[in-house]
Structure 1
Amino acid sequence: MSHSHGPGQPSHTHGPQPAAPQQPTVAIRPPDPVMQAVIEDSFSPVNIALGAPDNVSALCASHRLEKCADCDVDFTALNRVSRTLLLNPNLRCPPPPQVVSQKLSQAITVTKEEGNALFKAGQTDKAIQRYSMSINVAAQRPSWEASQLMREELSTVLSNRSAAYLDMGDYIGALVDAEAVINFKRPWSKGHFRKAKALMKLERYYEAREAIELGLSFEPGNVEMSQMLSEIQSELAKRAAVKP
């Protein structure tokens, strides 16, 4: 029976209240005994010391090093995540590995495309600035995201900036970026192509031939690289002919 105690008061009842819905219980499965035995068998305690900043870095106890060959430990990756969490106090824990920062991806793509448009318009110096900005943004990806994603992004933008440096006459800058592309994505023939072009401008033809031959080993049917190899061979033949 419902009633109210006064004007403006909501009506209510003194009768039995409906029971609150029960939360579903989640059954916790016991650990697999075989897997548990493997984990326990492979476990070996490691003595660690805590270091700066704020005692969140793991170091070997004997030498207080992050990476120590004598103690056979390497806490580099662990400490990178630890420092990232320290700099982001609102972040309780790293998200799952498949999580990708869409804002970062968008910023990288937008700045790269702006650089491409400027390069095509002949504004190479401004294109280099946009490529550099795109590279800086890509390098900011948190350590728990897949490294392959950052490698793909960096290799593409570095390849474009290498071409821009070459256009500006900065052949050393073009060579450095091409080498970086190869380090990030060795099987990609574009990096070897960029390297060979820079080496040709520096008149280092033997090294250019090695670079383009390596690129062709990854992509034998690349017509542009085959033509470049012919140009390099022709230049080397001319130089051999004029030697006393």
Structure 2
Amino acid sequence: MATMNPIEVSVSSDGDKIMCKEHNLETCTNCNIDWSEHNTLAVSLKQVKDLPPPNAPNPVRNAQVNRLKEEGNKFFKQNNYPEAIRFYTMAVDLSWSRPLWEPLAFQYVREELSAILSNRSAARLATQEYVDALVDAEMVTRLKREWSKGWFRKGKALWGMGRAEEALAAFKTGLRFDHESEELRKALAEVEDGTVQ
């Protein structure tokens, strides 16, 4: 069985190209190697100027996600829930596409998505899309377990689906995190009144 010898390479004097070490050639027929495509790629990457520093978050992405969320909020306030859902969905997709190697990526995604998904859940509740509202609310409770808003949305979705006992449990969990929440207290009372009837 033949063994392959490793190819020995060198770098050009300007540091821009990989070369055959023995013959000092980018494309060497003697060694049967061609580094031209690699070198072209390396040169093209050096010319990219708009990349953020390696240890900095991408402020453009942050601004774009926030802009989409604000557009969704605008349509939500106008009771145009389908458009609100569309913009919230674009914001979710953009946030999820954040490269994981970006510093603090998970923290940004967690903060961005919890608010956006909560808003999208509210819009879906308004259009009586209870299953989708529940999916969004469940994700919020997983991203930010201690945030009562996620539990409120989850309870409202469950109540809309006719699952009163689970709605009660969600509202009670939310109240454990935020004892002062008036909206959770009101929702809990409404469900308790509804289950008594």
> Is the pair's TM-score, using the shorter chain for normalization, greater than 0.5?
yes
Give yes or no for the alignment of 1:208 onto 2:173: no
Note the 1:71-220 alignment, pairs <5 A. Answer: 90=45, 95-96=54-55, 99-144=56-101, 145-146=103-104, 147-220=106-179
Aligned positions, number: 147
Report the CA distance between 1:175 and its aligned residue. Answer: 0.4
Report the CA distance between 1:138 and its aligned residue. Answer: 0.5
Alpha-carbon distance in structure 2 between the residues aligned to 1:168 and 1:230: 23
How far does the alpha carbon of each residue in 1:79-138 deviate from its partner, in whole angstroms, 9 at most, with x for none? Answer: xxxxxxxxxx8389x812xx1100000000101000110111121111111000000111
Q: CA RMSD in A?
A: 1.6
Q: For residue 211 of structure 1, what is the amino acid of its counterpart?
A: A
Q: Per the alignment, in what secondary structure is the counterpart of residue 45 of structure 2?
A: coil
Q: Per the alignment, in what secondary structure is the counterpart of residue 90 of structure 1?
A: helix
Alpha-carbon distance in structure 1 between the residues aligned to 2:80 and 2:188: 30
Report the CA distance between 1:193 and its aligned residue. Answer: 0.2
**TM, length-normalised to structure 1:** 0.58
RCO comparison, higher one (Cα < 8 Å, 6+): 2
Identical positions, percent: 41
How far does the alpha carbon of each residue in 1:124-154 deviate from its partner, in whole angstroms, 9 at most, with x for none? Answer: 1111110000001111111123111110000
Alpha-carbon distance in structure 2 between the residues aligned to 1:226 and 1:164: 21
Gaps spanning 5+ residues in structure 1: where? Answer: 1-88, 239-244
**TM, length-normalised to structure 2:** 0.71
